Structure 1
Amino acid sequence: MVVQAKINEIAWLAPSGMQISLRISFGAPVCSFNLYSPEWINKYTELGLMMYDPNMKWAYENIGTCRWSTLKDGDTHSILKMAEGYGIKYGATVSCRTQNQVGNRSIATFGRNDREYEDAELTHLHNFLQNLHDEVTPPTNITNAEIEALKMLKQGMIIKEVAAELGVSDNAVKQRLSNARRKLKANTTVHATALAQQYGLI
């Protein structure tokens, strides 16, 4: 996935790990990546820390960047102190959304153990997340007919079966799939189906 490759490129800025959730809507992201240590992920999950995490509270209430050190006063459950025990002494939280849009947002946290994040690094991380957020925007011009054809293929049907089910020609189905690939910027129909599922279209 292109997103994964871009995350790998930014890993040097988060030697202790990162967590990225893209285009969160109704509490669920289009996709997410958690590169913190398995030990920290397990502890965080086991104790249900997300609902108390000052990073999450800040990210849902703000757009921009902040250092974890500025959130310590609101850390009522000592989550940031706990993270230090897992090699995450310093961190940055980033929140962004589409410009002039109230809808879904993307949130990321980045961690390190050696020093605070510099202003230029915070700007870089914000630009990085904003670019990812914009990149995983689902197309608005894909039609219900194109989505329906992808959905049927995902269910294991072949083009001839899709055509029969929809009462259209094989060529009509192929055209819908071609349009879907173009709009989703997919190389293959399998790729288009995966992207449509990732975007919650099917």
Structure 2
Amino acid sequence: MLKDLIPGFDDEIAEMHALAPTGWIMGFNLTFRGPEHLFNAYPDAWRAIYEERNYFFGDPIAMWTMTNDGWVRWSEVRIPDLRGVMREARRFRLNHGVAISRKVNGKRSFLTLSHPDREFTDEEIGRCAAKFSLWTDLVLSRAALGPGELDVLRCFRDGLGQAETASALGIAESTVKQRALKACAKLGARTRTQAVAIAVSRNYL
């Protein structure tokens, strides 16, 4: 799913792998059931231990991302590590890292990256934070558009008018109008034409 939402996904993932050689993870739209979209590139052995011991609820980095916006180096997090999560992580060379967190429309998204040998530089963190901000906008905006709204935008993209769109989709013109208005609002577009342009540029269609 993320591959369809983030342009140049494979190249972006490769850059993250190079920047965080011992692993990284990102999640979007966190709920009590977990993230709506998740990409986990941490070592399989660490992931197995983390899940088996239910470390999430004692992980100071995870706790920081749940309660803060912005970014922080792991070494600067002052939440007590009562279960020794970070000590165990170092067995897998997860020695240094950065956590980035963002809350949009009441839902939390996060990105954490690790490095075995050194702290991340401000420039590296800034670049990652900028990418993550863009990805969050892309993923959450696309996730917010319903199938009906996407169908209407596709018809507009293909040059159909409101009446033609209603006929093609087998719905009332008033329904087409409502879906178009909702799509514009979710995309921050002032017109239908602008909404289509945004949707096309972000590969939503």
- TM-score in same-fold range (> 0.5): yes
- Structure 2 letter corresponding to 1:121: E
Please report the RMSD computed on the Cα atoms of aligned residues, expressed in angstroms: 3.4
CA distance in 2, matches of 1:93, 1:128: 13
CA distance in 1, matches of 2:146, 2:89: 46
Q: Is the 8 A contact 1:72 1:80 kept in 2?
A: no
Residue 80 of structure 2 corresponds to which residue in structure 1? 74
Please, which of 164, 167, 172 is the counterpart of residue 169 of structure 2?
172
Residue 89 of structure 2 corresponds to which residue in structure 1? 83
SS in structure 1 at match of 2:97: strand
Q: Percent identity?
A: 24
SS in structure 1 at match of 2:27: strand
Between stretches 5-14 and 108-117, larger displacement belongs to 5-14
Verify: 1:15 aligned to 2:21, yes or no.
yes
Change (3 A) 1:30 1:84: same
- Structure 2 letter corresponding to 1:135: L
Verify: 1:29 aligned to 2:26, yes or no.
no
Deviations 1:44-98 (A, max 9, x none): 0110000110011111111111111123661111111111101111111110134
- Cα deviation, residue 131, structure 1: 1.1
CA distance in 2, matches of 1:8, 1:43: 25
Residue 198 of structure 1 corresponds to which residue in structure 2? none
Unpaired segments of 5 or more residues in structure 2?
153-165, 184-195
- The TM-score, its normalising length taken from structure 2, stands at 0.67
Q: Is the 8 A contact 2:29 2:37 kept in 1?
A: yes
CA distance in 1, matches of 2:147, 2:199: 14
Q: Is the 8 A contact 2:24 2:113 kept in 1?
A: yes
CA distance in 2, matches of 1:132, 1:46: 30
Change (3 A) 1:73 1:97: closer
Verify: 1:47 aligned to 2:50, yes or no.
no
Residue 112 of structure 1 corresponds to which residue in structure 2? 115
Verify: 1:58 aligned to 2:64, yes or no.
yes
CA distance in 1, matches of 2:141, 2:23: 27
Unpaired segments of 5 or more residues in structure 1?
150-167, 193-202
CA distance in 2, matches of 1:36, 1:10: 12
- Structure 1 letter corresponding to 2:114: G
- Cα deviation, residue 28, structure 1: 3.0
List 4+ stretches of structure 1 deviating above 4 A. Answer: 139-149, 182-188
Verify: 1:135 aligned to 2:132, yes or no.
no
SS in structure 2 at match of 1:74: coil
SS in structure 2 at match of 1:29: strand
- The TM-score, its normalising length taken from structure 1, stands at 0.67
- Cα deviation, residue 139, structure 1: 4.9
- Cα deviation, residue 115, structure 1: 0.5
Q: Is the 8 A contact 1:22 1:31 kept in 2?
A: yes
SS in structure 2 at match of 1:66: strand
Q: Is the 8 A contact 1:65 1:93 kept in 2?
A: yes
- Cα deviation, residue 185, structure 1: 4.7
Deviations 1:107-134 (A, max 9, x none): 1110110111112222122112111101
